[in-house]
Amino acid sequence: SQQGEEDPQALSIQEGENATMNCSYKTSINNLQWYRQNSGRGLVHLILIRSNEREKHSGRLRVTLDTSKKSSSLLITASRAADTASYFCATDNTGFQKLVFGTGTRLLVSP
Amino acid sequence: SAVISQKPSRDICQRGTSLTIQCQVDSQVTMMFWYRQQPGQSLTLIATANQGSEATYESGFVIDKFPISRPNLTFSTLTVSNMSPEDSSIYLCSVEGRRGGRNEQFFGPGTRLTVL
């Protein structure tokens, strides 16, 4: 399977703590994207990092990419209960947005 | 950005029947994508739908089981044929759009299908 792996599968933290999720993939990529999904609903695009970038920030989100290790991490700082969701990485190795999704991390942020 | 709607939002169907899912986008797009998300799993790309040509299916998915139509640049349908309980999934369509000067993929809200 081409699918990427994410760890941890589930993460439970308290509000205000940081959450780190890791993603590993198998092939060379054009870009890597992170998505959030609330309760089995539609996906929300969070951030895209290109293969020639190493780090990206967006608000409380920080994404790193290590193409030599074929891995990425998503850091959510100062987490909130509203951050409770499943988070997926997805790689695009064609440049045409045909995404290969990771297995996902279920994040639970308790008040 | 692109706003995507899907119909139905959910359905419960009997095995052996077929269901057609509609995806409507508020702007013209070249490519539309159909994904399947099995219970508790990640998303898997079923096919890419281009207007004016046959859909391109990913490994493990065939046209007889998942026929797709793409009659214009804002609309597509995915049919799940001869359903079995293993087809119970969320089906999502997506398109590529622009936001903040960058390309990104926008997803519809999904159709939750349960096959009895």
- Inform me whether the C-beta atom of residue A99 falls under 8 Å from chain B C-beta atoms: yes
* Residue B48 reports pLDDT greater than 80: yes
8 Å CB contact of B109 and A41: yes
Chain B residues inside the 8 Å CB shell of A104 = 42
Residue A75 CB-half CA count within 13 A:
11
Give me A68's structure tokens.
Answer: 């030599």
- Cα separation values, B97 from A1, B32, B85, Å: 28, 10, 34
The residues pairing with B31 across neighbouring beta strands, listed in sequence order, are B50
* Residue A82 reports pLDDT greater than 70: yes
Query: Predicted confidence band at A39 (pLDDT cuts at 50, 70, 90)?
Result: confident
Give B69→chain A minimum CA distance, Å.
Answer: 18
Chain A residues inside the 8 Å CB shell of B92 = 42-43
* Residue A86 reports pLDDT greater than 60: yes
Chain B residues inside the 8 Å CB shell of A43 = 43, 92, 94, 107
How would you classify the pairing of strands A10-14 and B89-99?
Answer: unpaired
Q: In this structure, are residues A109 and A86 in contact, taking their beta carbons and an 8 Å threshold?
A: no
Q: Which of B90, B79, B104 is nearest to B38 (CA)?
A: B90
8 Å CB contact of A40 and B90: yes
State the average pLDDT over residues B13-31: 95
Query: Predicted confidence band at B61 (pLDDT cuts at 50, 70, 90)?
Result: very high
Give B100→chain A minimum CA distance, Å.
Answer: 12
Query: Predicted confidence band at A107 (pLDDT cuts at 50, 70, 90)?
Result: very high
Give chain A's end-to-end CA distance (angstroms, integer).
Answer: 38
* Residue A1 reports pLDDT greater than 60: no
Look at residue B1 and give its three-state secondary structure. Answer: coil
Give A102→chain B minimum CA distance, Å.
Answer: 7
Name which of A68-72, A96-100, B66-70, B89-93 the model is least confident about: A96-100
